[in-house]
């Protein structure tokens, strides 16, 4: 009897390990599509205000190994040259008019839209969250990503992935109290010179019922990106 129980224990353990590995593998494949290790992207951000009007921003995002990011504003004209730099767990903004570099919070919203600084430059789903398969349907995996600590903006992310090619489809972001905060819908598959990924992100703020669109007008997966791009000394240059 003891041996039977021991056997069952090891079988269930190996099954759960296999399941965790599978969730992790699925997530890795999806992340390699939406955020490869190094890339440069040109993004247009459109914020739909509650009164029906829109605010538009254009930025260039450079990302290296999920720990270094640089955002440079191209539009609107009054924000041109503004930069946001992330190195590991630190975030700074460079203000070109005063030439000042100020530290900022990851939780602040990104230029008044529904994306936070964290969503743009920090969200590292591979290292900061533990994935598990919540449900598997005919065409989709539904994953739950649970944050590994308390210092993250979202305690849980529910993530829908297309089975056949691991394309991300949708994500729900939850607070620590379990309330859904935001909903992200991935849209419009595009071929960026051989790299195929969704070109539009639609983020809905569920509390305020506002929407922000990120439209990738350019995406370049690169194999080398100099560290000098992310030096504080080079902000404004």
Partner 1 sequence: MMRKIFLLLFLIFPCFLAGQKTIPDLLDEVPDNVGEMKNTDAPSTNFEKIKTGEIYQEKQLSFQGLILGTWNYKDQFNSNEDSDSKNFTTEINLIFQLKPSPLFQCFTDFGGKSYTQGDQNNSPLQKDHLVTNEIYFSSQLGHFNFNLGKKRLVIGSGTLLTPLDIFNPQKALPGQQIQKEGRYLAGMNFTQLYNSKTFSQLFADLVFYPEITQDENGLLQEMKFENNDFLLRLGGVFSAHEVTLFFFHRWEENWFGVSYSRYLTSNVELHLESLLFFHRKPVLKNIYTSLNKKLYQNTLLGIKYFLLSKMILTLDYYYQSDGLDSEEWDQATASPFIKQLTLFYLANQGTLYQRIPNLTLRRHYILGNVSYNNLWDYLNLNLSVILNPEDSATLLLPKIDYLPSANTSIGLGALLLPGKSGNHYESFGFDYMLIFDLNISF
| Shortest Å distance, C-beta 53 to partner 1 | 8
Where do we find the tokens 């994953």? 143
| Shortest Å distance, C-beta 146 to partner 1 | 15
| Shorter beta-carbon distance to partner 1: residue 129 or 160 | 160
| Shortest Å distance, C-beta 17 to partner 1 | 24
Burial (CB count <10 Å: 0-12, 13-18, 19+), residue 24: middle
CB-CB contact of 108 with 94 (8 Å): no
CB-CB contact of 200 with 214 (8 Å): yes
3-state secondary structure labels for all residues of 161-222: EECCCCCEEEEEEECCCCCEEEEEEEEEEEEECCEEEEEEEEEEECCCCEEEEEEEEEEEEC
| Shorter beta-carbon distance to partner 1: residue 4 or 228 | 228
Helix ranges, 39-193 (H): 117, 125-128
| Shortest Å distance, C-beta 32 to partner 1 | 15
Helix ranges, the chain (H): 2-34, 117, 125-128
| Shortest Å distance, C-beta 118 to partner 1 | 9
| Shorter beta-carbon distance to partner 1: residue 20 or 206 | 206
| Shorter beta-carbon distance to partner 1: residue 12 or 218 | 218
């Amino acid at each position: 009897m003891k041996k039977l129980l021991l056997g069952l224990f090891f079988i269930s353990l190996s099954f759960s390990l296999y399941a965790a590995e599978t969730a992790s593998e699925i997530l890795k494949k999806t992340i390699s599509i939406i955020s490869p290790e190094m890339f440069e992207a040109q993004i247009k951000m459109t914020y739909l205000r509650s009164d029906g009007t829109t605010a538009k921003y254009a930025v260039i995002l450079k990302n290296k190994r999920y720990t270094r990011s640089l955002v440079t504003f191209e539009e609107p004209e009054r924000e041109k040259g503004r930069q946001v730099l992330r190195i590991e767990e630190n975030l700074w903004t460079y203000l070109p008019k005063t030439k000042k570099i100020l530290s900022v919070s990851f939780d602040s919203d990104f230029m008044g839209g529904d994306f936070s600084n964290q969503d743009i430059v920090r969200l590292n789903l591979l290292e900061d969250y533990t994935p598990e398969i919540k449900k598997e349907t005919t065409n989709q995996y539904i994953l739950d990503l649970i944050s590994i600590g308390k210092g993250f903006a979202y305690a849980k992310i529910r993530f829908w992935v297309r089975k056949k090619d691991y394309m991300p489809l949708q994500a729900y972001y939850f607070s620590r109290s379990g309330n859904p905060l935001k909903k992200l819908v991935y849209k419009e598959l595009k071929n960026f010179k051989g790299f195929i990924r969704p070109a539009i992100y639609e983020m809905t703020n569920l509390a305020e019922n506002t929407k922000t669109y990120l439209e990738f007008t350019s995406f370049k997966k690169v194999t080398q990106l100099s560290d000098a791009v992310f030096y504080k000394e080079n902000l404004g240059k």
